[in-house]
Structure 1
């Protein structure tokens, strides 16, 4: 039965948060991660949108806390509802769940709620990008699209520290093995000891996005993960010329319930109609350009030579020191954070915003 199968006569059997949830399953997923399944004691169905969240009332020792978790199950399977939780350092509520919540126990909950949702009737090409426990809404969305079975075209990119830390891997692989139009890609920073890893290594970058989803400009992007991760993804997409009107994100640490809670990311987007100026201090040359020109291109057009290689921000050959001003730089690993903090940039992928001084 899918969510659309619920008729008007069955609406009276929809679960409301005035009723408790009863834990029916606990499934370990990764270190300090588990999926908790719940059913309605009255047998009511669950109605929500893929990507929404629940807020659980947890009876931790000496207190009661409310904690919000994204729903990892799909509304296309309405007999139960699940959340997948990860205990971070210092976790109180999630730690209690992992240590004490067992099948048969009941909890109070609020919701479902949230705006980071997948339109349930649209048929689009999707690119899901996540990191860590940010994969949980993607599990719900992917399962929903898989169950719907019509027009499925999804590319999934999920990043984790190690292969053992990949949440929901078996479920995602099972669906991908049955639907050729569901493409699954994992990126890890480290290998597991004595285990073979044949996927991507390192951190997500623009080149990986292009290799994994060459048609990313045609896809609706949904992103979830730690704030620095989502900031980096937005920077990559902006640098690639992606239409950010088709980009959606939510931090798993701060989901929003209403549109008034939404905060617009303060992204810096180079404007091809806005003028900029670069002063090459060592050569005493000044050049006017636009915000979408790179420092490397402007230097070459001015007759100056900057050693360069890949032109994709990978090799680091074009590293130069920026004396002043602001640039929009999206690199692919060719410069360290220490160098950036010391004022260095990669000329091939740095675009001037206003007046900039560079030591060339």
Structure 2
């Protein structure tokens, strides 16, 4: 369990395409103003994707910190590999948006109940992608940053 004294040096590296895409940006900047958070924003439209090797530049003591990472599979795979190579894998805690695909099913027809639209699916493509490619509007937070 974390105590308040353990939260006096919190650093967040947040990636989003543009500044306006940073979720809870106003709240995060308020925490920065109150000196409760150090924030580094990486804007992928101009800075490119976060290269894990840049961590030493962004946060020189990264290997000494407990780290919580959440994001796309490629970023998390790179982080796990980097922390393992540095011998500090026990300090990295990840949350994945989707599980890895162990094997693809045969596929078949998918019918979207709200629209009644039926689309052939290959068994390996996520349903959100199948629906979007077929013109079905699907409420989702998956593309928000």
Q: TM-score range by the shorter chain?
A: 0.5 to 0.7
Q: How far apart, in 1, do the equivalents of 2:27 and 2:87 lie?
A: 30
Q: Secondary structure at the match of 2:49?
A: coil
The structure 2 residue matched to 1:175, chosen from 31, 55, 78, is: 31
Q: Computing the radius of gyration over CA atoms, which structure comes out larger, 1 or 2?
A: 1
Which protein has greater RCO, CA pairs closer than 8 Å, 6+ apart? 2
Match of 2:42 in 1: 187
- Matches for 1:94-173 after TM superposition, within 5 Å: 119=1, 122-123=2-3, 148=4, 150-151=5-6, 152-173=8-29
Match of 2:66 in 1: 220
Asked if the contact 1:162–1:188 (Cα under 8 Å) also holds between the matched residues in 2, the reply is yes
Q: How far apart, in 2, do the equivalents of 1:172 and 1:245 lie?
A: 27
Per the alignment, do residues 252 and 214 of structure 1 end up closer, same or farther by CA in structure 2, a change over 3 Å counting?
Answer: same
Match of 1:247 in 2: 92
Q: Secondary structure at the match of 1:190?
A: helix
Unaligned runs of 5+ in 2: 101-145
In the TM superposition, what is the alpha-carbon distance from 1:170 to its structure 2 partner? 0.9
Q: Which structure has greater strand proportion?
A: 1
Unaligned runs of 5+ in 1: 1-118, 124-147, 192-200, 255-262, 264-360
In the TM superposition, what is the alpha-carbon distance from 1:243 to its structure 2 partner? 0.9
Q: Which structure has greater helix proportion?
A: 2
Matched, 1:231 2:77: yes
The two structures have a TM-score, normalised by structure 2, of: 0.59
Asked if the contact 1:156–1:184 (Cα under 8 Å) also holds between the matched residues in 2, the reply is yes
Asked if the contact 2:73–2:96 (Cα under 8 Å) also holds between the matched residues in 1, the reply is yes
Asked if the contact 1:161–1:190 (Cα under 8 Å) also holds between the matched residues in 2, the reply is yes
Q: How far apart, in 2, do the equivalents of 1:242 and 1:177 lie?
A: 34
- Matches for 1:10-159 after TM superposition, within 5 Å: 119=1, 122-123=2-3, 148=4, 150-151=5-6, 152-159=8-15
The two structures have a TM-score, normalised by structure 1, of: 0.25
- Cα RMSD (Å): 2.2
In the TM superposition, what is the alpha-carbon distance from 1:182 to its structure 2 partner? 2.1
In the TM superposition, what is the alpha-carbon distance from 1:207 to its structure 2 partner? 4.0
Moved over 6 A (4+): none
